[in-house]
Amino acid sequence: MSWKSEASAETDNGVMHWLLTWGLSKEQEKEVQNCLIAKVDSNAIVMGALTVEAPEKFLLSGKNKDLIAVLQGSLSAGAGIPTQPGGKSASSFRFLGKDAQQMEQSLSNLDKWDGIFIEMPFYGVGVWPSCAHPAFGGQNRHAERNQMQRMRNHT
């Protein structure tokens, strides 16, 4: 939502709210189940979500550095990372002056949002403590940290 003062011809201010829900849709769950059956065997079953840990806030990245800078500078509340299936994260942005005008223009040209990502780095806990599962290319963070410490000690 944006607004103009009576004396202004251009947008003065704006607000935007994001509500993110973490998890898979029913269609995505079926797709995962079908992929698992194709890769493993017909008896394979997806048992549910893995318990994860995450940093306190999500990150924004992508090609449009100007738009990302406006978003990061205008974030007024939120940016939390949900860690439970179906968990939600609400974020609020308040745009002033030129930032409000830039955001209004970007929303009328959605190509500017192409390649902008919300990054939520998760770490598995429980079954695979402090690491991402190796099947997904993860590495044990403790082993990685220990290797870096050994390298520092030798320099």
Q: What pLDDT is attached to residue 132?
A: 45
Q: What pLDDT is attached to residue 147?
A: 47
Instruction: Assess contact for 116 and 131: CB atoms under 8 A.
Output: no
pLDDT, averaged across the chain:
78
pLDDT at 84 over 60: yes
In a domain, 130, yes or no: no
CB count in 10 Å sphere of residue 93: 21
Where is average pLDDT lowest: 37-41, 56-60, 81-85, 138-142?
138-142
In a domain, 155, yes or no: no
Q: What pLDDT is attached to residue 71?
A: 92
Q: Which domain holds residue 45?
A: 2-49+60-120
In a domain, 105, yes or no: yes
| CA neighbor of 71 nearest in space, from 85, 56, 61 | 61
Task: Name the domain count of the chain.
Answer: 1
Q: At what angle do helices 65-74 and 97-108 cross, to 10 degrees?
A: 130
Please list the alpha-helical segments (H only) found in the chain.
Answer: 26-39, 65-74, 97-108, 141-153
Contacts of 115 (CB under 8 A, 6+ apart): 62, 63, 64
Q: What pLDDT is attached to residue 148?
A: 44
Give the tens place of pLDDT for each residue, 20-68. 888 888 898 899 899 989 988 888 888 877 778 888 888 899 888 999 9
How far apart (Å, rounded) are the C-alpha atoms in residues 140 and 85? 23
In a domain, 126, yes or no: no
In a domain, 133, yes or no: no
pLDDT at 9 over 60: yes
Cα dist from 94 to 4, 70, 141, 146, 147, whole Å: 14, 10, 37, 42, 43
In a domain, 111, yes or no: yes
pLDDT at 128 over 70: no
CA angle 100, 87, 67 (to 5 degrees): 20
Using CA atoms of 121, 33, 114, 96 in order, give the dihedral in degrees to the nearest 10: -50
In a domain, 110, yes or no: yes
Give the strand pairing for 52-53 and 123-124. antiparallel
Reading the block at residue 142, the tokens are: 């403790």
In a domain, 54, yes or no: no
> What is the DSSP-derived secondary structure letter of residue 130?
T
Kindly state the average pLDDT of the residues 90-112.
88
Q: Can you give the pTM of this predicted structure?
A: 0.63
Q: What pLDDT is attached to residue 109?
A: 86
Q: How confident is the model at residue 101 (pLDDT cuts 50, 70, 90)?
A: confident
